[in-house]
Amino acid sequence: MGDAYLDKISEFVSHQSRLCFSGHKREILRHRLESRLKKLGLANYAAYWYYLKQTSGEETVLLDCLTTNETFFFRNTDQFSHLRDVIIPDIETLRGQDVVKSWGGNSRVPALSIMKLRVLSAGCSTGEEPYSIAMTILESLRHPKAWDLEIIAGDLSESCLKTATEGYYENEKLKNIPDHYIDKYMRRDADGAVIREEVRNLVSFTHLNLNGLMKGVAFPGAVSFSAPFDIIFCRNVMIYFSSSCQQMLVDMLHRLLVPGGYLFTGDAEPLHLFDHDFETIKGAKCLIYKKTEMTDYA
């Protein structure tokens, strides 16, 4: 009987978020549910199933409990090095050329509409990834104030988003950040550091259920997913989906990128098992993909 209700909960989670807890991952579901049952004083999975169905807000708490939030600043340093040294300078050069070309026409395109950079951090956890992206971009651009920079960072976990929005990290979390980045982009105290406002203003945090995004569901608030992104970070997220859902995720990420846009995945998430129109970046010492489609974004 217990496992029957565990199956119900697993199916509910999959339907709502596409998170997959089959096979060896079933024990992860069991372990985390046991902690939740203990906190609520519930005797078994059946009791929790009825509590889940009858209690407003418990779905959010459940999905929060089940998300894995392991992250740190500048995770996979080779990816951030390539972003800083190659990708951002290339984008800056190409956009600068587009601005110059726009001067020759009768109808000028506003420079700010060209000098725009949109980045998506999908599965941003407690914010270390999008803030690492922001600092890297600011370090790489020669004239960052000439750009309209927008980093959308989303996660399923409301508690993670709260930490990310506050932007304060204890000393243990700062180990991978270069000292000059801390001095330039953070304010320190005895226990840690907070991200400076000029960096935090570049990042918009939002609740992001990739299941909804794959279905084309609109998200609340001012965040827009209709315009394409130049760069997407979706790292160590795909591994929590079933194979069929992973293909759907790859397709969705492709749609969200501009032609020639860049996709950063986790080390354990190569795309060779899926149908896709990405190419790997040659010469990079890490896993980065580029959208090969050269048609207009639709």
Range of lowest pLDDT (77-91, 141-155, 267-281)? 267-281
Q: Which of 42, 66, 90 is the last residue of a domain?
A: 66
Is there a single domain that holds both residue 140 and residue 7? no
Average pLDDT of the residues in 75-84:
95
Give the percent of the chain with pLDDT over 70: 91
Q: Is the pLDDT of residue 295 over 80?
A: no
**What is the distance between the alpha carbons of residues 115 and 291, in angstroms, rounded to a whole number?**
20
Is there a single domain that holds both residue 96 and residue 177? yes
Expressed as residue numbers, the domain containing 20 is 2-66
Read off φ and ψ for residue 83, nearest 5 degrees. Answer: -60, -45
Is there a single domain that holds both residue 118 and residue 209? yes
Domain count, the chain: 2
Band of the pLDDT at 107, cuts 50, 70, 90?
low
Is there a single domain that holds both residue 120 and residue 194? yes
Residue 9 in any domain: the answer is yes
DSSP-derived 3-state class of residue 144: helix
Is there a single domain that holds both residue 154 and residue 225? yes
Is there a single domain that holds both residue 148 and residue 45? no
Q: Which of 66, 92, 120 is the last residue of a domain?
A: 66
Give the percent of the chain with pLDDT over 90: 55
Yes or no: say if 56 and 149 are a contact pair by the CB < 8 Å rule. Answer: no
DSSP-derived 3-state class of residue 57: coil
Is there a single domain that holds both residue 53 and residue 152? no
Residue 29 in any domain: the answer is yes
Helix ranges, the chain (H): 2-17, 26-40, 45-54, 58-66, 77-82, 88-102, 111-114, 128-140, 158-166, 179-185, 197-200, 210-215, 243-256
Residue 72 in any domain: the answer is no
Is there a single domain that holds both residue 60 and residue 90? no
Q: What is the DSSP string of 208-224?
A: --HHHHHHTPPPSSS--
Please state whether beta strands 257-264 and 288-291 pair in parallel, antiparallel, or not at all (unpaired). antiparallel
Residue 296 in any domain: the answer is no
Is there a single domain that holds both residue 33 and residue 97? no
Q: Is the pLDDT of residue 277 over 80?
A: yes
Read off φ and ψ for residue 152, nearest 5 degrees. Answer: -95, 125
Residue 71 in any domain: the answer is no
190-233 pLDDT, tens digit per residue, is 999 999 999 999 999 998 888 877 776 665 555 666 678 999 99
Q: Which of 15, 47, 66 is the last residue of a domain?
A: 66
Residue 298 in any domain: the answer is no
Is there a single domain that holds both residue 202 and residue 224? yes
Task: Check residue 260 and give its pLDDT.
Answer: 94
pTM: 0.85
Read off φ and ψ for residue 43, nearest 5 degrees. Answer: -80, -30
Task: Check residue 278 and give its pLDDT.
Answer: 93
We report the CATH number of the domain holding residue 12 as 1.10.155.10
Task: Check residue 210 and give its pLDDT.
Answer: 85
Whole-number CA gyration radius for the chain: 21
Yes or no: say if 293 and 256 are a contact pair by the CB < 8 Å rule. Answer: no
Is there a single domain that holds both residue 62 and residue 81? no
Yes or no: say if 221 and 206 are a contact pair by the CB < 8 Å rule. Answer: yes
Please state whether beta strands 148-155 and 203-207 pair in parallel, antiparallel, or not at all (unpaired). parallel
Yes or no: say if 290 and 262 are a contact pair by the CB < 8 Å rule. Answer: yes
Q: Is the pLDDT of residue 262 over 90?
A: yes
24-74 pLDDT, tens digit per residue, is 788 889 998 999 999 999 999 999 999 999 999 899 889 888 877 779 999
We report the CATH number of the domain holding residue 91 as 3.40.50.150
Range of lowest pLDDT (18-22, 171-175, 278-282)? 18-22
Is there a single domain that holds both residue 111 and residue 217? yes
Yes or no: say if 35 and 65 are a contact pair by the CB < 8 Å rule. Answer: yes
**What is the distance between the alpha carbons of residues 275 and 239, in angstroms, rounded to a whole number?**
17
Residue 206 in any domain: the answer is yes
Per the listing, tokens 């990405």 go with: 278
Residue 297 in any domain: the answer is no
163-193 pLDDT, tens digit per residue, is 999 999 999 999 999 999 999 999 999 999 9
